[in-house]
Structure 1
Amino acid sequence: MQINTKGATIVDEPKIPAKFTLFDRGKGQLNQLTDKPTFVFWAGIEYRGSSSQGDWYFLPGLVKKPYGFEIWADSLSMTAVKLPIAQFGAESDWVLNASYNDRTFLRDVLAQQLASQFGLQHSKTRYVEVILNDAYQGIYVLMEKIKQGGNRLDIADLTPTDNAGDTVTGGYLVKIDKTSGAVSRNWNSAYVSGKGTEKSFFQIEYPKSENITTQQFTYIKNYVNTFEKSLQEEQPLKATTTYRSMMDMPSFVNYFLLNELSRNVDGYRLSTYFHKDKDSKGGKLTMGPAWDYNLSFGNADYYDGYLPQGWVYNKLELTEGTPDYFQTPFWWGKLMKDSVFVNSVKRRWSSLRKTTLTPQAIFKFMDSTTVALKDPMQRNFGRFPLYGKKVWPNYYVGNNANEELFWMENWISARITWLDAAIARLDATLILGNESEVSIRAFPNPASQLIQLEFPLQQNGNLNLEIFDLLGRSVLKKALGSQVKGPQLIPMDISALAPSRYVIAILQDDAILYRFPIVKSLD
C-alpha cells in the first residue's frame, strides 16, 4: 500500500487528502511495486488511537503511528466512497493498525480470528506493507473500522424520524472507551465497580451525535440503565430476572471467554463495544464487535497481564489491585454469580475445547502466519530495530521472531490449562452462600445418610437435583419430577457419597435455583 500526501503532514484531525495505491494480486500471491495496481483512490487520512500516538510513551523514532482513513471520491470533495479493497466487503472507513508494541504482529489478528470462531461480531484483518511518501513504513494490519452498516455491523438504520414504536428500539452501537476521537452522545453508569470510585462511561457510536434525536438517546440510555439496575439489584439465584430477558446471553458468554483467554488488560473497560438491534429483530443487548487486543496474550507488564493464571475480569473490577480511572463495568462480577451465565460459560468452553480452541489449532495459525510474514518482518525490523528493546508495556522482550513466537505460544498453552481447571471448578468456587431473601436450609448438616432440603418454589415446574464435588465435577444426578409451587421438602440419600464437602444444586429448566453446601460425615 503506497500513500502519498503530496507534501502535507498527517495530523490527529482533521483528515488530509492522500493518494492511495494498493497492490493485491490475491490470496497467496506475492505483490510487487512494479505490478499493475489493483486500486488507486483518494482518501482522507489521520492519526488514530490514544496512547498509541505518543512517542514519549515509547521509543522516539522507532515506533510507527496508527492511521485511520476514509476513501473519498476525489482529493477535494471529501465525499465518502465504498470500495471492496483487499478482498473485504465494500466500505469507506478503514484502520491501519501499527502493532507498535507487538513484535509478533499476531495478537490483534489472532483475537479477531478467534472472535470469528467463537461467533462474535468482529473486524476482518489483512497484513499490508506500507510505503508513506516513498519511505518504507513496514508491516501494518489493515482492519475494518467498527461501524454500523451492511458490510460491517449489520444492525438496523436509525433516521431522525425513527422516534417511536419499534423504529426507535434499534439499532444502536455503544462503546466503553476513552474520549479521544469524534464527539458522541454519552452518559455515566449509575454504579461503580469493585473497590473503585469511577463509573463506566458509555458513548453512542451510532447514530452519530449530529444525527441522534433526543428520543433515541433517551431510549438507549434508559434501556442500558434498566439492564444495569436489574443486574445490580435483582438476586441472580432467581429463576427469572429482568436483565436476562434484556441481554443476548451467547454474545456475553463468548465475549467473556475471548477476553479471559487472551487476558486482555484493556478488556471490558476500554475499546469495548455492544449493540442493540430493533425489538422486531431480536432487540437485546449484544456484546461486540471485538476490538483492540494488542495488550493481550501476555503482552502487558501491569494488572498481571503477563501471568497465564487468574481471572482478568476480577483484576480489572478492582476486587484486587489498586483503583484505575478506567474501570470494568460491574456486570461481569455479577454475572459470575448467575448460574445461567456460569453454566453457559462451562458448556461453551467445553464445546470450543473440542473443536477450534486447542493449542494445536491456535499454534498452526500462528506458525503459518509467521512463515508468511518472514520476509516482510525482516524488512520491518530492518527499518524499526525493536528486537531486544522494551516498548511500553511489554513484559517479555525477545531478541528475534522465534523467541517472541515461542514465548507467546507457551503463554497460550499455560493459559488454556489454567482456564480448563478454573472453569471446571466454577460450580464449587461460586458457592459463597445463597443470595436470596427466602428461607432455605439443608438439615441435618453434616449428615451421613439422609439430608433434607427445604426451600420455596416460586412457580410450577420440573426440578432436577445435581451434586458437585469440590472440583466442580458432577457426582450424582436425580430427577425430582414435576413440583407445585410453594414450600418444598426434598429428602436426599447421600449414603453412597464418600465423606467430604459437596454442593447440592436444585435446577429448574437448566437454571440453578438454589445451592446447598453440605458435608458428608463418616457416620
Structure 2
Amino acid sequence: MTFRLLVLLFFVQFKILAQSLSVSNLPILVINTKGATIVDEPKIPAKFTLYDRGKGQLNQMTDKPAFSFWAGIEYRGSTSQGDWYFLPGLVKKPYGFEIWTDSVAMKPLKLPIVQMPSESDWVLNASYNDRTFLRDVVAQQMAGQLGLQHSNTRYVEVVLNDVYQGIYILMEKIKQGGARLDIADLKSIDNAGDDVTGGYLVKIDKTSGATARSWNSSYVSGKGTFKSYFQIEYPKAENITTQQFTYIKNHVNTFEKSLQEENPLKALTTYRSMMDMPSFVNYFLLNELSRNVDGYRLSTYFYKDKDSKGGKLTMGPAWDYNLAFGNADYYDGYLPQGWVYNKLEMSEQGIADGFQTPFWWGKLMRDSVFVNSVKRRWSSLRKTTLTPQKIFKFMDSTTVALKDPMQRNFGRFPLYGKKVWPNYFVGNNANDELFWMENWISARIAWLDAAIGALDATLVLGKEEEIPVRAFPNPAGQVINLTFPLQQAANLHVKVYDLSGRSIKQEQLGHKAPGPQVITLDLSSLASGRYVLFVLHDDDILCRFPVVKSLD
C-alpha cells in the first residue's frame, strides 16, 4: 500500500470520526423530515428527538429521549440562508421551528426543551461565520446583565436526516407572550381607550420572513436618502385591526417628530416622556460595546405595552450579533475604536446603504439627559459585570465545554483558515479565534472608557462639535465657579437639585451677552453632599454641572 493511499485512508477515517455522533456533553437534537425537503416557507412537518439528561451530563443517542415531538421546520434568516453566503460544499443553514401537537393539525405545543421555559417557537442559529460560536451567546448574556429583554441560548449538536450537522445555538425566538416578551395581548375588539394602546412589538429590519403591516419613517436616516422601515411583529398582519395599526404608527410618528424638532436641551420634551430611557441607554451601550455593524438599523426591536402598564417605547429584545465584536470587514467593524451610531453608512462605491441607522441615536447624543445617563450607567457596569476578566471567564469556560463538539463541527465543516463573508480576522484554530476576539474586547472597552469618560466633561449644545464646560473648585466650599459658552444673548437662571430630584435653590443671573461666561454661585446655604446645578434660559437647559459641596 503506497504512502499516498495510507494518508488518504487516514484523512477519510478522521473525517468520518469527526462527523459521527453517538455521545456528547451537549444536548443532541435529531431531526427527521421523512424524505421531505426543507424550504424557506412554508414550514414542513418533521419528527424531532431530543437527548438531554441535564446540565453536566453526557448524552447518548441510545438513551431514552427527553422529548420526542413533531414540529414545523423551515429555513430562517435573510443573508444567512443565501446560497452565495456559503463556501462550496460547506452549506450549514439556520432553521426556525415550531413545536406542534402532531404532524397534521399543526397546532402549536409549548415544551420546556433544554431547560428553558416552555414555548413552541425556537431558532437554530448555525453561527456559520462566527467560528468561536460565542458572539450571539455573549451578546445575549450581556443584554440580560444590562436589563434588556433578550433570548436565552443553549448549545446543541444536530443530526438532520441521519447526517451530522454540527453545533447549533438553540435560541428563543422573539415573540409576544408570557415566557418571552410579556406585554399585553391585543384582541380584535381592542380598538379604543387604554385597550388599543398596547402591546405592540415593532422591528427595524429587512423584509424577509412573514408579511407584516409596515410604514416608513417621515425622516431621513443617517447621511443617505433612505428612511427607516418599521414592521409590526405583533400583532401579526392577519390579526391587527386598522385602528391598532393607525394607533401605533401615529404614536411612533409623534415620538419621531418630537425627537427631530424639539430642542434636546429643554428640561421637558415630548419624546423623553414617551421613551423608556434606561432601555435606550442599555441598548446603546450593548451595540457600542459589541460594535455591531448591523446594530440600530437591522434586527432591531422595540415595543410598547398598554398605557396602564407604563406604555413607554422600550428598546429590545436584543437580537443578531454574529457580525459584532470585530467580526465584520466593512464599516470599520473590525476596529475597536470609533462610535457605531454615527458611522457613515456608505458602500465602498460611495452609494448610500439602503439600511441606515435611524436618526434617533444622533439626536439623543445631543441630549444631556441621555448622555449623562449613558455615562453613569457605563461607570456602574464597569465596576460590576462589564470587566474583561468576567467576560473572558465566561468565554474561556464556554470554549472548554465546546472542545469536543467543535472538533466534530469543524471536521464536518472545515472552516478554520477560510474567510467566510464578512470576516476580517481568519484564525487557523479555535485558540486563534478566541484570543483575537478577547483582545478586541479589551481594546474596545478601553476605547469606550475614554470616549464615554470624555462625555462627562462635555455637553453638546445642539451642534456637531462638543463644547467644554467647567465647575470649579469641585468639590466646592462656600462658592463655586461655573464656566460655559453662550451662543446668543439670554436671561439666565440657575436651579440646584439634590439627588432625590428636589429643587432646593434658585438664583437669577440676569441678562447675559453672548460669549464665554463665568458665574460665581454662593453655596453657603447648602449642606455638604452631592447636587446637580442647571443653567437655564426659560425651560431650556444650557448646561448641567454635577457638583459636590465639601464639609468646609
TM range, normalised to the smaller chain?
0.7 to 0.9
Please tell me whether the aligned partners of residues 368 and 460 of structure 2 are also in contact (alpha carbons under 8 angstroms). no
2:421 equivalent to 1:392? yes
CA distance in 2, matches of 1:188, 1:75: 39
Local SS of the residue matching 2:343:
helix
2:236 to 208, 217, 223: 208
CA contact (8 A) 1:339 1:512 kept: no
Q: CA deviation at 1:432?
A: 5.3
Post-superposition offset of 1:464: 6.5
1:409 to 429, 438, 452: 438
Return 126-135 or 307-316, whichever deviates more: 307-316
Q: Residue 264 of structure 2 contacts residue 462 of structure 2 at CA under 8 Å; is this kept in 1?
A: no
For residues 421-459 of structure 1, the C-alpha deviation after alignment (integer angstroms, 9 at most, x for no partner) is 000112455545679xxxxx99xxxxxx9979874469x
SS in 2 for 1:52: helix
For 2:346 and 2:387, the matched residues in 1 are separated by 30
SS of equivalent to 1:294: coil
Q: 1:173 & 1:450 partners in 2: Cα distance? A: 45
- Tell me if the contact between 1:194 and 1:319 (Cα under 8 Å) persists in the aligned partners: no
SS in 2 for 1:366: helix
Is this contact kept in 2: 1:505–1:514, CA < 8 A? Answer: no
Q: In the TM superposition, what whole-angstrom CA distance separates every residue of 1:272-319 from its partner, at most 9, and x where no partner exists?
A: 000000001000000000000000000000000000000011115669
Match of 1:468 in 2: none
Give yes or no for contact 1:23–1:33 (8 Å, CA) kept in 2.
Answer: yes
> Does 2:492 align with 1:492?
no
User: Counterpart of 1:252 in 2: which secondary structure?
Assistant: helix
| Percent identity (aligned) | 80
Structure 2 SS opposite 1:355: coil
Taking the aligned partners of 1:486 and 1:212, their CA distance within structure 2 comes to 54
- CA–CA distance in structure 2, aligned partners of residues 398 and 377 of structure 1: 14
2:301 — aligned with what? 273
Where does 1:21-36 land on structure 2 (aligned, <5 Å)? Answer: 21-36=49-64
Following the alignment from structure 2 to structure 1, what is the Cα–Cα distance between the partners of residues 400 and 79? 30
Alignment of 1:142 onto 2:179: no
> Any idea what SS the aligned residue of 1:340 has?
helix
1:303 to 327, 331, 341: 331
- Which residues in structure 2 correspond to 1:125-136 (within 5 Å)? 125-136=153-164
Q: Distance in 2 between matches of 1:317 and 1:463?
A: 41
* Paired residues of 2:492 and 2:535 also in contact (CA < 8 A): no
What one-letter code is carried by the residue in structure 2 that aligns with 1:462?
K
Structure 2 partner of 1:54: 82
Q: Does 1:463 align with 2:496?
A: yes
Deviations 1:307-348 (A, max 9, x none): 000001111566998520001100000000000000000000
Code of the aligned partner of 1:423: I
The amino acid across from 1:208 in the alignment is K
- 2:289 paired residue number: 261
Alignment-derived partner of residue 243 in structure 1 = 271
Give how far 1:194 is off: 2.8
What are the within-5 Å matches in structure 2 for residues 233-382 of structure 1? 233-315=261-343, 323-382=352-411
Distance in 1, Cα, partners of 2:353 & 2:300? 16
| Cα separation, partners in 2 of 1:429 and 1:485, compared to 1, 3 Å | closer
Q: Report what 1:20 is aligned to.
A: 48
Residues 24 and 451 of structure 1, relative CA distance in 2, 3 Å threshold: closer
1:9-39 deviations in whole A, cap 9, x for unaligned? 1000011000000011111112111111000
3-state DSSP of counterpart to 1:110: helix
CA 1:427–1:106 in 2, change beyond 3 Å: closer, same or farther? same
Output the CA distance in 1 between the equivalents of 2:51 and 2:511. Answer: 71
The equivalent of 1:500 in structure 2 is none
CA-CA distance at 1:463 after TM superposition: 2.7
Partner of 2:180: 152
Alpha carbons of 1:7 and 1:83: their partners in 2 closer, same or farther (altered >3 Å)?
same
AA partner of residue 117 (structure 2):
G
TM-score, normalization: structure 1? 0.87
Relative distance call for 1:429 and 1:319 in structure 2 (3 A) is farther
1:462 Cα deviation from its structure 2 partner: 3.2
Cα separation, partners in 2 of 1:433 and 1:464, compared to 1, 3 Å = farther
Pair 1:354–1:455, CA change in 2 (3 A): farther
- Correspondence for 2:505: 482
Q: 1:127 to 1:269 in 2, by over 3 A?
A: same
Q: Deviations over 1:387-446 (max 9, x none)?
A: 0000000000000000000000000000000000000112455545679xxxxx99xxxx
State the alpha-carbon separation in 2 of the partners of residues 147 and 450 from structure 1: 50
Matched, 1:222 2:250: yes
Letter in 2 for 1:268: Y
TM-score, normalization by structure 2:
0.82
Q: Secondary structure at the match of 1:388?
A: coil
- The 1-side partners of 2:297 and 2:431 are apart by 32
Aligned residue identity for 1:147: K
1:112 aligns with 2:140: yes
Q: Equivalent of 2:219, from 191, 204, 222? A: 191
C-alpha distance in structure 1 between counterparts of 2:504 and 2:140, whole Å: 44
424-433 vs 102-111, greater mean Cα deviation = 424-433
In structure 2, C-alpha distance between the alignment counterparts of 1:168 and 1:184, rounded to whole Å: 18
Aligned-partner residue type, residue 483 of structure 1 = Q
The within-5 A match list for 1:28-107 is: 28-107=56-135
**1:45-77 alpha-carbon deviations (Å, 9 max, x no partner):** 000001111121231221310000000111111
Distance 1:80 1:507, change over 3 A: farther
Answer yes or no: is the 8 Å Cα contact 1:43–1:72 preserved in 2. Answer: yes
1:181 paired residue number: 209
Alpha-carbon distance change, 432 to 283 in structure 1, aligned in 2, over 3 angstroms = closer
RMSD of aligned C-alpha atoms? 2.8
CA distance in 1, matches of 2:402, 2:461: 49
Q: Which amino acid aligns with 1:482?
A: K
Q: Which runs of 5+ in 1 are unaligned?
A: 436-440, 443-448, 466-478, 495-503, 518-523
